[in-house]
Structure 1
Amino acid sequence: MSVSAEQRDTVDENATHVAVAPPGTPLSAARLHRVKKAYTTRSVAARIDADPSGYALLDGPEVVPHPGDVVLARIERLGNHTRLESPVSRRQTLFVGDEVLVAYGHRYAPDQFEAEVPADLGPAHLVAAGGVAALATAKHARIADATALRPLGLLTDDHGIVTLERFATHRLSVAADTARQSRRPTVVAVLGTSMNSGKSTTVSSLIRGATRSGLTVAAGKVTGTGAGGDPHGFADAGASAVLDFTDFGFPSTFRLEHAQVRGLLTALVRELSTPDVDVVVLEVADGLYQDETSRLVSDSVFREVVDRVVFAADGAAGAVGGAEVLTRAGVPVTAVSGVLTSAPLAMREAQSLLSVPVIETAALTEPDVVRAVL
């Protein structure tokens, strides 16, 4: 059975799409139980575990996948990713022939892959260990080719194509009220020069330092590619609540409409700003020149909801240049940290040109240091 793009329909204003489609090939409960399910599909996996009946596969040449569609695929060839992160973040070893439940999504990762959702159910790749299927269009020279997938069909139920957004625990409204609340926690955003500049470690260190100061901290990740490492790390550092874009049904945020990215920022602040929370720490993925990040930082809403910015850099030049970019956008930087702080010489170089402190990442775990940042 197949479904064309014209057969898709929207059932509520917050959903990207929910397909109105003919039933596909039924899936047995036993087969669904054996499938290796990905972290990105954890809300769907929980529903399947509770009741595996009523699911089917939709395939055919007219099926057009969209970001967030859940797909059953077979591992055809192992490549860069040899393990799949489970719904509880266990690294499942992959074997050729395994069937996996993952989600279609675009990916932006300069150190790994650039990838896009293909126009059909033809051969695809596993482009993120958290469970993202796409067609890799470019890769870093130092990594292996992407693990090859053979999509077997989109997962369907009685309501149509199964999407992450339909099964998500939180709903996104792009028309969310961005006005300041009468009582809102201090919101600290961590941005960086690039992937692997130390953003997540900086977030965790800020959380640890603030909680050691006696503050209650919640944490969120606004953009990126779905994976459990960062959210679990934030919780391990002491965050009382953690949310990210995957909780709203997005496998990644690459190529999202700006209104959706802006909506994620405001929704995370709103959801995490409970009466007992003193500080909300947010990570914005990738670098300042990444399109979604650049547009978000330039949006007046960012300045309305974010009180402090800590900038993570991988070198002195990046630290100085990034701080200048943010200042020109009207976003003053409170401190610089990240990978460059592992090198005393790089720290001195950056500090000689910056008017804000350059703080070792580990030092952010100290109560007196984090209080000064806040």
Structure 2
Amino acid sequence: MPLTGANLQHIKAAYSVRRVPKSAMHTLLMGDLCPRSGDLVLAEIVRLGHHRRIELGNGRRAHLYPGDRVILCYGNRYAPDQFEAYVPEHLEPCQMVAAGGIAARQHSKHSAVKDATEILPLGLLGDDRGRPLNLADWAIPAKKADTCPLTLAVLGTAMNAGKTTTAAHLIRGLSRAGLKVGAAKITGTGAGGDVWLMQDHGADPVLDFTDAGFASTFRLPPETLERIAATLCGHLVEAGVEVLVLEIADGLLQGETAALVTSTWFRQQVDGVLFAAADALGAKAGVEMVRQQKLPLVAVSGALTASPLASAEATLAVSCPVLDKDALTSETVLEILGFAKTLRLRTA
């Protein structure tokens, strides 16, 4: 079925599909089709659930109503605090499982959240030859940096441990020190909140896995995760950044996170690891795992630092600095982390 600009003009296009211009959407493909992760889909909102808004490409969270038509992309989701969801085998009723515009079939959910918003896929969006449009078609080109600036990675115990906040505060401190900071979210599910937060704290540019052509990194093989990481870092290095800050989604026990942080690429690229946790026991267990993997741990932070008591517990439990917002946003954060000399040597 042919599409025109008028057909799509007032349709809300999600953050996850922001790299694909509406001018490339020429056809609506219907019938017995098997969606792939990253395929763009035109869908109708049937019933509102957990997500009552959709994040647009510019970051605005637009209200949704039953009957609204939206442009999403298919993708798997792993979110212990929200949904476990998978790309369906057919164009069948399913759900919008992330505010950034991910279509999938809900498999399980956290008991504290509502069911996902129900959608009716109307068809895959295609090009002028009737071929399905996929995020991979608009990915930034693969790139590998010849030399690497100082690279700091933020890992954590799980979703909502405070990883993004830790990364953002670190970026703020590095920026206050006069450094050009680039940031990347290497793994996760397509949504822009973390990207916007890191931008707001001073990182420029900021990239995520959707820029590399993936709606989600759940269920991707290790070699693909490494390729995503290398590509994002390569583009940041090309932009002339002096420090890289990387966020790795979820926790150390999540499959893709575990694969990436134990990879050759991660060991060769990352100079220091900050570990985010929600409580002292999580910090202690996480620090032990990081050290077992012989990763370069430099500090603990995260949600636990909102509590002086939790911070005190963690300080007794781990033999590394426990850094709160004030420490991370300080213009002396490199000295606090022990990297001031390293940076001077690399930029000399």
Residue 110 in structure 1 maps to residue 80 in structure 2: yes
Q: CA deviation at 1:115?
A: 0.3
CA offsets per residue over residues 274-330 of structure 1, 9 Å max, x none? 374211000000000000000111112211000100001111111111111111111
Quick one: distance in 1 between partners of 2:218 and 2:326?
A: 30
Q: CA deviation at 1:158?
A: 2.4
Q: CA deviation at 1:202?
A: 0.6
Structure 1 gaps, min length 5 = 1-24
- The normalised TM-score by structure 2 is 0.94
1:289 match: 253
CA offsets per residue over residues 247-300 of structure 1, 9 Å max, x none? 111111111111111111112222111374211000000000000000111112
Which residue identity does 2:87 align to in structure 1?
A: V
Which residue identity does 1:89 align to in structure 2?
A: G
Which residue identity does 1:252 align to in structure 2?
A: S
Residue 220 in structure 1 maps to residue 190 in structure 2: no
Residue 129 in structure 1 maps to residue 93 in structure 2: no
2:13 match: 37
2:344 match: none
Count of residue pairs the alignment pairs up: 337
Residue 59 in structure 1 maps to residue 30 in structure 2: yes
- The normalised TM-score by structure 1 is 0.87
Q: Please give the residue correspondences for 1:1-374 in structure 2 after superposition, counting only pairs within 5 Å.
A: 25-44=1-20, 47-48=21-22, 51=23, 55-60=26-31, 62-159=32-129, 160-168=131-139, 170-172=140-142, 181=146, 183-274=147-238, 276-373=240-337, 374=339
Which residue identity does 1:26 align to in structure 2?
A: P
Quick one: distance in 2 between partners of 1:142 and 1:275?
A: 42
* Structure 1 residue ranges, 4+ long, deviating more than 6 angstroms after superposition: none
Quick one: distance in 1 between partners of 2:253 and 2:321?
A: 23
Quick one: distance in 1 between partners of 2:207 and 2:148?
A: 17
Structure 2 gaps, min length 5 = 340-348
Contact kept? 2:13, 2:71, Cα under 8 Å: yes
Q: CA deviation at 1:335?
A: 0.2
Q: CA deviation at 1:87?
A: 1.0
Contact kept? 1:311, 1:338, Cα under 8 Å: yes
CA offsets per residue over residues 159-209 of structure 1, 9 Å max, x none? 4110111023x034xxx65xx84x421000001101011111111111110
Percentage of pairs with the same residue: 48
Which residue identity does 1:35 align to in structure 2?
A: I
Quick one: distance in 2 between partners of 1:251 and 1:59?
A: 21
Q: CA deviation at 1:29?
A: 2.1
Q: CA deviation at 1:369?
A: 3.1
3-state SS of 1:223 partner? coil
